[in-house]
A and B are shown apart, each in its own frame.
Chain A
Amino acid sequence: MRPDLGRLLARYLLLGVGVLLLNFLIPRLLPGNPLSFSGGEGTDAAVPLSGAARAQLRAYYNLDEPLRLQFVRYLGDLGRGDLGWSIARPAPVREVILDRLPWTVALLLAALLFAAVVGTTLGVVAGWMPGGIRDRLLVSTAGALAAIPEFLIAIGLLLVFAVELGLFPLFGGRTVFADRDFGATGVARHAADVVWHLTLPAAALVLVNASGFLLLARDATVGVRHAPWLTAARAKGLRERDVARRHAVPNIALPLLTFFGLRLGAVLGGALVIERVFGVPGLGLLGYEAIRARDYPVLQALFLVSSVGVLAANLLMEIAYLRLACHRGQTRG
């Protein structure tokens, strides 16, 4: 166990360094260095580069110095938490990102967890009686959902529930300038407002991701249904429901966990579409706007944040995987 964990950590440490290096190189490799574009006008809050802004960028990137020295400075800045100054809006990048990070995290984690729970449960239901009517219905629904691109599902939800039925807001993360009293009722109302705004985007994410969990759980359940230890449990007189819940589900946890980690990574990059459709002011929308405004410091910081986030998530998954695998005495495939 211990050497495995050690090797795992070493591997991820190496990956982390790789991510930093890649992140450092990207703006210096792509066509047009950060200072070359004239004006930097974009469609959102664009401010052309004044002399002072150029000087700031130059100071941040140190493009005149030898590459090695630039990298050292880059690491130093990171260590201090200095992510540079955003071109598109006069504010430090760190502030811009911290403003929007909570939205993405709240939306993604909540939606993904919900998708995992719902998908897995339905998948177990389907897999318990393969070929049965429940199974066929669930699998075809999951299949149909998986055949529609994410942005269409999002627009569909928006159309039906916000436009036609008017049950949810058309865009945004919260009602702007809503009452800002900070007493207990104010906070509760504020939280309810946020939930109301994020319901549709979260629902879209759930619909997109649940089918993956469903199919995986179903396959795994089909596989373990007739395992000997389950027969033993049945022989003990346990109801099917309890057999499923207490014995089968924990054993399909391993592949599900891996899948969750992988989906987290995929979703971190894909939240852009959902945030764009619903106007949620998270990191995805920030990235979209930053690309359009050629806001290199923001882009760099975003890539770093999301790559590190994915690595961290994967590391946690793999550690949990190791623990569970040890417990169950199973070996990795």
Chain B
Amino acid sequence: MLFWLGCGLLAVFAAVAVLAPVLAPHNSRLPTGRPLAPPTRDHLLGTNDLGQDVLSQVIFGARSTLTVAGVVTGVSTALGWLVGLVAGFVRWTEAPLMAGTDLLLALPNLPLTLLVLTLLGASQRNLIAVLALLSWPAFARIVRGVVLQTRSAAFVEASRALGAPDLHIIRRHVLPATLDVLPTKLVLTVRFAIFAEATLAFLGVGGNGAMGWGGMLYWAFSDPLLFLRPGWPWLVLPPTLATAALVVATVWIGSGLAPVRPSAGRPAGR
């Protein structure tokens, strides 16, 4: 079952992140070997241009990536869910809230993030804040849509059966329905956060001491002679595969939580 595979993989990543100081063979910030060395017993994945151990960097990189992905997903899901609920339930808030989300959705994501981080400084905190801010609107719209749908169905049902709308029934039907769309949102947001962190690091605003997987790629690609060096795959592939594996793990988890369904209002990947 893919779902269990995904969970297992995610658990491995989490464990690696937590146990990093124990697992990593070297201090990832110290040059411990000859620069640009191929894999040896001491450095299983070789060393980078400063002589830092690649394997240790991949292990420690999990911390940064998982933190960003986790917090961004948590905050944006909570915020989007809340706003969607309010917009769906409280009539007069719907128009302004939806207008706000439409506005946020119309802004160009990456340039805006780039601009804010450049001006406010590229700390991890700022990064998380901006990413969370950009990813909640789409989910809010979906939640609102679900709320409206189930609400009308519940109303009809309830008014038929009891002659009066029962708030409790609404809560019993509507809220669980919103949970149905949660898994897709989680998967997409995790993917969005991981990709955004890597892309921003690649563009040079990855945050000070960018040692996440995106940062590793940034340093690799900032060497103009990278592809002339014989050992370049060891600099590029480990962070790439780590990123891809994490994303695939979340996708598998997502596919296990919710059966694939044709949906008209799928978010654009956030």
Q: Do chains A and B touch in the complex (CB under 8 A)?
A: yes
Is A199 interfacial (CB 8 A cutoff)? no
Report chain B residues within 8 Å CB of A147.
Answer: 191, 243-245, 247-248, 251
A159 to B228, CA, bound (A): 11
Report chain B residues within 8 Å CB of A173.
Answer: none
B262 near A219: Cβ-Cβ < 8 Å: yes
Q: How large is the interface on A (under 10, 10 to 19, 20 to 34, 35 or more residues)?
A: 35 or more
Report chain B residues within 8 Å CB of A276.
Answer: 203
A311 to B104, CA, bound (A): 11
A262 near B267: Cβ-Cβ < 8 Å: yes
A159 near B227: Cβ-Cβ < 8 Å: yes
Minimal Cβ-Cβ distance residue in A for B113: A269
Q: Which of B149, B240, B243, B264 has a CB less than 8 Å from the CB of A254? A: B264
For window 264-278 of A, CB contacts with B under 8 Å fall at 265-266, 268-270, 272-273, 276
B111 near A269: Cβ-Cβ < 8 Å: yes
B221 near A272: Cβ-Cβ < 8 Å: no
B105 near A265: Cβ-Cβ < 8 Å: yes
A332 to B194, CA, bound (A): 33
Q: Would you give the shortest CB distance from A161 to chain B, in whole angstroms?
A: 13
A306 to B149, CA, bound (A): 32
Minimal Cβ-Cβ distance residue in A for B204: A292
Report chain A residues within 8 Å CB of B112.
Answer: 269, 303
B108 near A151: Cβ-Cβ < 8 Å: no
Is B266 interfacial (CB 8 A cutoff)? yes
For window 109-126 of B, CB contacts with A under 8 Å fall at 109-112, 114-116, 118-120
Q: Would you give the shortest CB distance from A195 to chain B, in whole angstroms?
A: 25
A223 to B109, CA, bound (A): 32
Label chain A's interface by main secondary structure. helix
Q: How large is the interface on B (under 10, 10 to 19, 20 to 34, 35 or more residues)?
A: 35 or more
For window 288-333 of A, CB contacts with B under 8 Å fall at 288, 291-292, 299, 302-303, 306-307, 310-311, 314, 332-333
A22 near B103: Cβ-Cβ < 8 Å: yes
Minimal Cβ-Cβ distance residue in B for A292: B118
B251 near A307: Cβ-Cβ < 8 Å: no
Pick from A13-21, A179-187, A228-236 the stretch touching chain B: A13-21
Q: Would you give the shortest CB distance from B258 to chain A, in whole angstroms?
A: 12
A149 near B199: Cβ-Cβ < 8 Å: yes
B199 near A151: Cβ-Cβ < 8 Å: yes
Is B268 interfacial (CB 8 A cutoff)? yes
B108 near A14: Cβ-Cβ < 8 Å: no
Report chain B residues within 8 Å CB of A15.
Answer: 99, 102-103, 106
Report chain A residues within 8 Å CB of B262.
Answer: 216, 219-220, 222-224, 252, 255
A302 to B114, CA, bound (A): 13
Report chain B residues within 8 Å CB of A146.
Answer: 191, 247, 251
Q: Would you give the shortest CB distance from A12 to chain B, in whole angstroms?
A: 9
B103 near A287: Cβ-Cβ < 8 Å: no
Q: Would you give the shortest CB distance from B69 to chain A, in whole angstroms?
A: 13
Known: A147-B247, A219-B260, A270-B109. A333 touches B269 (CB 8 A): no
Among B103, B191, B264, B269: residue with most chain A CB under 10 A: B264
Is A51 interfacial (CB 8 A cutoff)? no
Give 24 CB contacts A-B under 8 Å.
A18-B99, A19-B103, A22-B107, A30-B119, A144-B248, A147-B248, A149-B199, A149-B202, A149-B214, A149-B243, A151-B199, A152-B198, A252-B262, A255-B262, A258-B264, A265-B268, A270-B109, A270-B110, A273-B202, A299-B115, A302-B111, A307-B106, A332-B264, A333-B145
With A163-B227, A270-B109, A307-B106 known, 5 other A-B pairs at CB within 8 A are: A146-B247, A151-B198, A222-B262, A255-B262, A266-B269
Chain B interface (Cβ < 8 Å from any Cβ of A): 99, 102-103, 105-112, 114-116, 118-120, 145, 149, 191, 194-195, 198-199, 202-203, 214, 217, 221, 227, 240, 243-245, 247-248, 251, 260-270
